[in-house]
Amino acid sequence: MEQYLELLFKDYTLQIITVGTAVLGALCGVLGSFAVLRKQSLLGDAISHASLPGIALVFLILGVKDNNGLLLGALASGLISAVFIKGIISKTHLKSDTALGIVLSTFFGFGMLLLTYIQKLPNANQSGLEKYLFGQAATLLASDVWLMVAITTISVAIVLLFWKEFKIVLFDADYTLTLGFNVKWVDTLITSLIVVAIIMGLQTVGVVLMSAMLLAPAAAARQWTNSLATMVFLAGLFGAISGVVGTAISASANHLATGPVIVLIATGFVVFSFVFSPIRGLLFKQIKLWKNRNDLKLMKTLSFMYEIVKTHDNISHPHKIQLLNNFQGYTKKSLKKLQSEDLILLNKSNWSLTEKGYQVAKNLYSHQES
């Protein structure tokens, strides 16, 4: 750890990469929140795969490995694929999963065709193209990172500017339409922003893992809140932390690709959130289940006592604990619990209902009836 910090202060390249992955993680988290809530989680996967032919075509036409040019090609091809996906879903009876699968695989296949064609060309200088498949954070240059910072700033500004529109389209598109908003336009804007973020991340985490970059922080953030603003903020934070921590781990160990490590860290956030989130988490749900089950047992014991007591004139008349043996649900602990809640009184081997306990037990059933 100390070694890494020392390295971070000295090594300019590491600083650049860290900033890059942090910014990328933050932007992916922010935009991923919209993708997850719009049920477009796998759109990212399809678009990142579909960007390959764009990259290859730009290289084929321009013959140079100019980074920004390649990114523009990827962007164009990503947007075209998004249009295709929409066209297939809206015009045919094929469902969105099939549309995504078709576009993802055929675009990627076409990209493969072009890439292998390029490799056979005499001026093949394509070694760098493969980094888009798996991503190589180590190849990030300062200029790349500045571009990422600029894109992120613009995207976040757009999100803030159109916050109201994004939010309302997200939760009730039909209502938005009746209010006179141009839903189609807002829709296109969100999708385009997501495509831009995906393309930006290709170089760092690669085609395959890009979808996780988009989803994981948002899915983790979703577990902690029901408010969109908090979710977007948390997702951005989780994304950035995943980027920084992932870069740190892969920098301090040999032979560890950055992309997969970042994705695993982000997945770690998801697992942690799934289990420990106080609102929706699995652990708390389980605890609640146990608690409910115990409460039910206590109330059953109480109502059994009530059935015995109600035939007597004096409700506080003590009864032997053995009387309860017909009823399997009680333990010493549960009786003590009932006493601590002032529902019964224990006296050596006798128990008696208190006034409060009598009323509670009486109302148990009347509640159900009403």
Partner 1 sequence: MNAQIEIQIILSLVAIACAIPGVFLVLRKMSLISDAISHSILPGIVVGFFITQDLASPLLILMATLTGVVTVVLVEYIQKTGLVKEDTAIGLVFPSLFSIGVILISRNAGDVHLDVDAVLLGEVAFAPFDRWMWNETDMGPKSLWMMGTVLLLILTLLLLFYKELKVATFDAGLAASMGFVPMAIHYGLMTVASITTVGAFDAIGAVLVVAFMIVPAACIYLLTDNLKKLLIYSSVLAVVCSLVGYWFASVWDTSIAGTIASVLGLVFFIIYLTAPGKGYFSQWYKEKQQKTEVALLVFLLHLANHDEEQERNINHLQEHINWGAQRAKKVLKLANQNNMIAIENDIISLTNKGLDFTKQAIAYISDNKNSELEGVKQRFFLFRG
Kind plus residue range of the DSSP H or E element containing 347:
strand 344-347
Could you tell me if 202 and 132 are in contact, meaning their C-beta atoms sit under 8 angstroms apart?
Answer: yes
* Nearer residue to partner 1 within complex by CB, 120 or 332: 120
For CA atoms 290, 293, 299, 302, give the dihedral sign: negative
Please state, in angstroms and rounded to a whole number, the distance separating the CA atoms of residues 213 and 242: 9
Contact region for partner 1 (CB under 8 A) — 21-29, 219-227, 309-317, 327-335?
A: 219-227
Q: Is 134 a binder of partner 1 (CB under 8 A)?
A: yes
Q: Closest Cα partner for 112 from 52, 168, 167?
A: 52
- Residues 133, 108 contacting (CB under 8 angstroms): no
* Residue 142 interacting with partner 1 (CB under 8 A): no
**According to CB under 8 A, which residues from 69 to 98 bind partner 1?**
87-88, 91-95, 97-98
Residues 6+ apart with CB under 8 A from 224: 230, 231, 234, 273, 277, 279
Q: Which 335-364 positions form the footprint of partner 1 (CB under 8 A)? A: none
Positions 143 through 182 that interact with partner 1 (CB under 8 A): none
Minimum gap (Å) between residue 198 Cβ and partner 1: 12
Distance from chain centroid for Cα 329: 42
Q: Which listed residue (64, 157, 160, 256) binds partner 1 by CB under 8 A?
A: 256
Q: Which is nearer to partner 1, 48 or 352 (CB)?
A: 48
Chain positions 304 to 333 lying near partner 1, rule: CB under 8 A, are none
Burial class (CB in 10 A: 0-12, 13-18, 19+), 161: exposed
What is the spatial distance between Cα 152 and Cα 5, in angstroms, rounded to a whole number? 26
- Residues in contact with partner 1, counted by CB under 8 A, come to a total of 61
User: Of 43-51, 72-80, 145-153, 299-307, which part binds partner 1 (CB under 8 A)?
Assistant: 43-51
DSSP string, 280-323: T-HHHHHHHHHHHHHHHHHHHHHHHHHHHHTTSS-TT--EEGGG
Q: Does 219 bind partner 1 (CB under 8 A)?
A: yes
Out of 7, 8, 80, 112, name the contact with partner 1 by CB under 8 A: 112
The DSSP bridge partners found for residue 229 are none
Indicate which single residue of 61, 64, 113, 177 sits in contact with partner 1 (rule: CB under 8 A): 113
The residue (of 57 and 360) whose beta carbon lies closer to partner 1 is 57
Q: Is 56 exposed, middle or buried (0-12, 13-18, 19+ CB in 10 A)?
A: buried
The residue from 208, 298, 299, 364 that contacts partner 1 (CB under 8 A) is 208
Chain residues binding partner 1 by CB under 8 A are 36, 39-42, 44-45, 49, 87-88, 91-95, 97-98, 100-102, 104-117, 120, 130, 133-134, 208-209, 211-212, 214-216, 219, 222-223, 255-257, 259-261, 263-264, 267, 270, 274, 280, 282
